[in-house]
Amino acid sequence: MKTKITITVNGVIYNKTVEDTLNLLNFLREDLGLIGTKNGCGKGHCGTCTVIVNGEAKRSCIVRMNKLDGAIVETIEGISSQEGLNYIQEGFVQEGAIQCGFCTPGMIMATKALLDKNDDPSEEAIKEALKNNVCRCTGYTTIIKAVKKAAYLKKQQAECVKESILSNQYIGQSVIRKDALSKVKGERVFADDYKEKDMLYGKMVFSQYAHAKIISIDTKEAEESEGVVKIAMAKDIPGQNAFGLFEAEQPVIAENEVKYLGEVVAVVYAKTNEQAEHAARLVKVEYEVLKPILSPIEAFEEDAPLVHEDRENNIVHYVNVRKGEVDEGFKNADVVIEGYYYTPAIEHAYLEPEACLAKPEEDTITIWTGNQGSKAYQEMIATSLDLPMEKIRVIYTPCGGGFGGKEEPTVQIHAALGTYLTQKPVKMVLTREESIRMSIKRHPMHVWMKHGATKDGKLVAMESRVIADAGAYMSQTKPVIFRSAVTATGPYVIPNVKADSYGLYTHNNPSGAFRGFGSTQASFGAEIQMDKIAEKLNMDPVELRRKNAFKEGELTSTGQLLKDGVGYLETLEAAQNALNKMKEDYQGVTRPTHKKLGFGLASSYKNVGIGTGKLDQAGAIIEIEESGRITVKMGATDMGQGVDTIVAQIAATALNVPYDIIDVIACDTLICPDGGMTTASRQTYVTGNAVKKAANLLKEKLSQYIEVNEKNQETLAFVYQEASKKGEKLSVETDYRPPKTYPHDGNANPVPGKPIEAYDIHYSYCFATAAVALEVDTRTGEVKVLKVSAAQDVGKAIHPQNIKGQIEGAVVMGMGFALSEEFLQDDTKIITDNLNQLRIPKITDIPEIAPIIVEVKQNEGPYGAKGMGEVGLNPMAPAISNAIFDAVGIRLQILPMKKEKVLSALKG
């Protein structure tokens, strides 16, 4: 059916005959090319597609066009102009309410709908207005501030008050992020926003079972379906039908067997997305259904069937840490505490679903996609297509959140394969359901811990055993379980340690990198253990932590001597002060007797950088352009954490030039140097250092032409001319290698002849402590977090506003992990297959958050800075569990701590 309508969009009238199935989002994006409105889920669960319809904020993906006759629609493009920013955009920019930018246009439109009606909204009203808009990056705090600022700017008709920076020294200054303006205007071009003439759309056919043999695949009907150009099966892959960051193990397209529900069995390429979707449903796969192993405990059993028949058992990897003599250590303990802890699979739920455009260009294939490391993608695509590396070019597009989930390809190899097979551009975008079905997850972990301490609170021994669910393929299980063993002690000196971690294959989604990377799960157990020990010893839990804290000159569980940059105690102290203040503030307030107040605190530490003797360097290129502007080319990807801005600040400071004349190009494999994966919170440190080094080299070059120290665009344009006359290019390329690290060999004990440096598995660590105040409703079991004070050692805050945003985002992600989120599946279906089911925190769930920046200089880091993007998440779940104990005397050790669980624990 079709309907004739008249609709006004951003003041332009359109007379259209529309299909009854067409929604407003697709009309805006596909028919009108208004790509500022984003598609994050297609189900009305995320709000990225919010526009204003007849004065009301509407999620355009759930508005049918045939209902819009006479409607007036406003989109982000309607409030964006060449000249400047609208007051809302200005508010978002000033408050730094932008990270990955994918939710930003929707947030801004929801804000506009609010402010059009209410000039002075209360915090309640703001939360109510934005309750359908999910953000996975910011933790919402800056967004609330931005809406308030926007309301203020609107009323005052105020101009933007830019902080004036008097010299070109930008370290520690919250300059306007490089990506801010294009993101608030909806002009940032994400992978799904690309379009090509004659482009095909690829759709995957997924397995129906967690475990089955493929008997046959019948594509006849699908091939005959309208618009279908090609259907790719395993046999169509010219090169290696396997990919993976550690070992190429996961089939690009399964051939004989499926090992999890997200396994791809065929890919349909058709002229429209609908045609591809339709044909994908017509592919008939006959399976012999087999019994899946869905638990790593089961997979560990002696007689468990093998997930990978070519392996001896289901163990992906085993890591051990041995320090001192653990049995002796326990003999000296006055108290021994044991506990079992469980953390579930978690979906990254970045707001931008996986997307990619592949295009034939002469004899190469170019791929546009958001990712965490273009080079790794390039290698995997080249290997599967059996092409030399230089025939594949991967261009990084803004990444709408990664959080570890975009280190490995999903659609990219399949899109490139489609281009290879058809010689046409191919677009592939996962729907939210497909994204959840296919992508990697945070490792579920079973954690057993045993600690021994003396009467006076000295930790003397610790034993941990972790069994992690690696899922069907290895992904990054090796380094993830490594971290879960190494960080199991927490930031405490323990002389006798035995930590074992196992990763087990199952028929679940492959588990991989996820913010915290194994340290998160271990921290959950370790920090509840700390509180239990303190309780048993009748000691203040902060005091217990202080007594055993990591300091310069102490040894970690792997025998590494801690040198500079150990800011743990400072975070503990800051969080303790905040905790005391919270107690003062909240304990005085009377509340109903069924609402119990509780306070809790937890700490964590994790590595910055890859370490363990692996390649960890990053490159940088800096060039002066004819215009006098400066281009920085690097291999780090900005998925919202702000590295584009950080490197621009570093380059401007080192070169003594204005920040505004710096442009950053990231992760284009043809023109940018490799920076390794954007992982392990490493890029501020490694790429930051590479850029600083390159800037210093360039400065030296410039000194032949110009004497003044401070330079501007004009002088640089002049220098460019002078250099051209001499035939010199004002360009430098360099590499930075972080301090040498060594692999961990299991034994932390001194070995004759082995120097102490050989125990340096990492060159930098970061630290965090969070204090939480909450309320437990003993009638419903509901836990309401009232306030979080989160202290983090960042070395040096290059961009304080950004750092705070990272802390707030990590805190809220940690709250989701603690209280509500889990990814569930069984042998035939994903149970939590949409954003609603996944229970990602919303704006209405967040407490007051006070980020506290601790700066303990890391000597080798750029200007003393180190990475910080992950560790802030770790203390949240244990701090909340500890606070629940404080409130109602029950220990919750299995995540998520949903109200049903709390209630049943309360009932005993």
Binding site for ligand MTE (CB under 6 A): 99-100, 137, 401-404, 515, 639-641, 643, 678-684, 806, 809, 867, 869-870
Pairing of strands 228-232, 200-206: unpaired
684 binds, among ligand MOS, ligand MTE, none (CB under 5 to 8 A by kind): ligand MTE
Closer by beta carbon to ligand MTE, 177 or else 450 = 177
In whole angstroms, the minimum distance from the beta carbon of 328 to ligand MOS comes to 36
- The H or E element containing residue 406 is none
Name the residue whose CB lies closest to ligand MTE: 640
The minimum distance between CB 474 and ligand MOS, in angstroms, equals 16
Give, for 544, the enclosing helix (H) or strand (E).
helix 541-548
Residue 867, binding choice from ligand MTE, ligand MOS, none, Cβ under 5 to 8 Å by partner class? ligand MTE
Which is nearer to ligand MTE, 144 or 426 (by Cβ)?
144
Residue 229 interacts with, from ligand MTE, ligand MOS, none (CB under 5-8 Å by kind): none
Q: What is the DSSP letter of 561?
A: B
Nearer to ligand MOS, 115 or 445 (CB): 445
What are the φ and ψ backbone dihedral angles of 634, each rounded to 5 degrees? -145, 170
Q: Is 443 exposed, middle or buried (0-12, 13-18, 19+ CB in 10 A)?
A: buried
Of 523, 465, 537, nearest to 489 by C-alpha is: 523
Strand partners, 365: 360, 392
Partner touching 26 among ligand MTE, ligand MOS, none, CB below 5 to 8 Å by kind: none
Q: How many CB atoms lie within 10 A of CB 12?
A: 10
Instruction: Determine contact, residues 520/485, Cβ cutoff 8 Å.
Output: no
Nearer to ligand MOS (CB atom), residue 373 or residue 425:
373
Q: Which of residues 385-414 bind ligand MOS (CB under 6 A)?
A: 404, 407
Tell me how far apart the alpha carbons of residues 843 and 170 are, in angstroms, rounded to a whole number: 32
Between 418 and 518, CB nearer to ligand MOS: 518
Among 680, 850, 852, 871, binds ligand MOS (CB under 6 A): 680
Maximum pairwise Cα distance, the chain: 85
For residue 772, give every residue at least 6 positions away whose Cβ sits within 8 Å of its Cβ, in sequence order, or none.
599, 600, 601, 785, 787, 788, 876, 879, 880, 882, 883
Taking CB within 5 to 8 Å according to partner kind, which of ligand MOS, ligand MTE, none is near residue 520? none
> From the list ligand MOS, ligand MTE, none, which binds 27 (C-beta under 5 to 8 Å, kind-based)?
none
Beta bridge partners of 738: none
Question: Binds 641, which of ligand MOS, ligand MTE, none (CB < 5 to 8 A, cut-off by type)?
Answer: ligand MTE
Task: Output 153 or 680, the one with its CB closest to ligand MOS.
Answer: 680
* Shortest distance in whole angstroms from residue 768 CB to ligand MOS: 15
Please say which residue, 75 or 806, places its beta carbon nearer to ligand MTE: 806
Choose the contact partner of 100 out of ligand MTE, ligand MOS, none; CB within 5 to 8 A by kind: ligand MTE
Q: Which does 137 bind (CB under 5 to 8 A by kind): ligand MOS, ligand MTE, none?
A: ligand MTE
Least Å distance, CB 722 to ligand MOS, is 43
Cross-strand pairs, 6: 15
Instruction: Work out the angle at residue 737's Cα, subtended by the Cα atoms of residues 731 and 739, and round it to the nearest 5 degrees.
Output: 150
Report in angstroms the alpha-carbon separations of 363 from 377, 393, 621.
18, 11, 27
**How far is it, in rounded angstroms, from Cα 516 to Cα 347?**
13
Instruction: Annotate 742-765 with DSSP letters as a single string.
Output: ----SB-S--TT--GGGG---S-E
Q: Using the minimum distance from each CB to ligand MTE, give the nearer residue, 57 or 868.
A: 868
Residue 757 tokens read as 């440096």
Q: To the nearest whole angstrom, how small is the minimum distance from the Cβ of residue 271 to ligand MOS?
A: 36
Q: How far is the CB of 666 from ligand MOS (least distance, A)?
A: 15
d(CA 160, CA 162): 6
Residues 6+ apart with CB under 8 A from 660: none
Element (H, E) at 902: helix 899-906
State the SS3 of 243-259.
Answer: ECCCCCCECCCCCCEEC
Binding to ligand MOS (CB under 6 A) within 503-522 occurs at 513-515, 517
Give 404 or 781: the residue with its C-beta nearer to ligand MTE: 404
Nearer to ligand MOS, 437 or 442 (CB): 442
Q: Minimum CB separation from ligand MOS for residue 793, in Å?
A: 18
CB of 655 to ligand MTE, least distance (A): 21
598 binds, among ligand MTE, ligand MOS, none (CB under 5 to 8 A by kind): none
CB under 5 to 8 A by kind: which of ligand MTE, ligand MOS, none does 674 bind?
A: none
Among 89, 369, 378, 679, binds ligand MOS (CB under 6 A): 679
Q: Locate 804 and state its tokens.
A: 């705070």
CA distance 884 to 599: 7
Residue position matching structure tokens 């569990």:
881
**Position closest to ligand MOS via CB:** 404
**Contact map string, positions 848 to 887, toward ligand MOS, x by CB under 6 A:** ----------------------x-----------------
**Closer residue to ligand MOS (CB): 662 or 871:** 871
DSSP alpha helix (H) spans, 27-161: 87-95, 104-117, 123-129, 141-156
Between 28 and 873, name the residue whose CB sits nearer to ligand MOS: 873
> b vs e for 65-100, b when ≥16 Cβ sit within 10 Å of the residue's Cβ?
bbebeebebbbbbbbbeeeebbbbbbbbbbbbbbbb
Q: Which of ligand MTE, ligand MOS, none is residue 252 near (CB under 5 to 8 Å by kind)?
A: none
CA distance 359 to 341: 48
Write each residue from 361 to 380 as x if it is in contact with ligand MOS (CB under 6 A), else as -, in one continuous string: -----------x--------
Question: Would you say 26 or 681 has its CB closer to ligand MTE?
Answer: 681
Residue nearer to ligand MOS on the CB measure, 402 or 795 = 402
Residue 99 interacts with, from ligand MTE, ligand MOS, none (CB under 5-8 Å by kind): ligand MTE
Q: 251 touches which of ligand MOS, ligand MTE, none (CB within 5 to 8 A by kind)?
A: none
Contacts of 896 (CB under 8 A, 6+ apart): 344, 817, 818, 819, 820, 821, 822, 839
Which of 39, 41, 64, 37 is closest to 51 using CA atoms?
Answer: 37
Is residue 207 within 8 A of residue 289, CB to CB? The reply is no
CA angle 674, 679, 683 (to 5 degrees): 60
Tell me which residue of 392, 399, 394 sits closest to 354, measured CA to CA: 399
SS3 category, 279 = helix
Strand partners, 74: 52
Look at residue 439 and give the partner it binds from ligand MOS, ligand MTE, none, a contact being a CB closer than 5 to 8 Å depending on partner kind.
none
633 in Cβ contact with 624 (< 8 Å): no
* Joined tokens for residue 420: 């290879």
Query: Of the two residues 193 and 821, which places its CB atom closer to ligand MOS in the complex?
Result: 821
Three-state SS for 166? coil
> Residue 637 CB, nearest distance to ligand MTE (Å)?
8
Residue 655: enclosing H or E segment and its boundaries? Answer: helix 643-655
What is the closest distance, in whole angstroms, from the C-beta atom of residue 475 to ligand MTE in the complex?
Answer: 14
To ligand MTE, the closest distance from the beta carbon of 838 in angstroms equals: 16
Binding partner of residue 639 among ligand MOS, ligand MTE, none, CB under 5 to 8 Å per kind?
Answer: ligand MTE
Least distance (Å) between residue 208 CB and ligand MTE? 31
- What does 9 bind: ligand MTE, ligand MOS, none (CB cut-off 5 to 8 Å by kind)? none
- Judged by CB, which is closer to ligand MOS: 514, or 568? 514
Q: How many residues bind ligand MOS (CB under 6 A)?
A: 10
Binding site for ligand MOS (CB under 6 A): 372, 404, 407, 513-515, 517, 679-680, 870
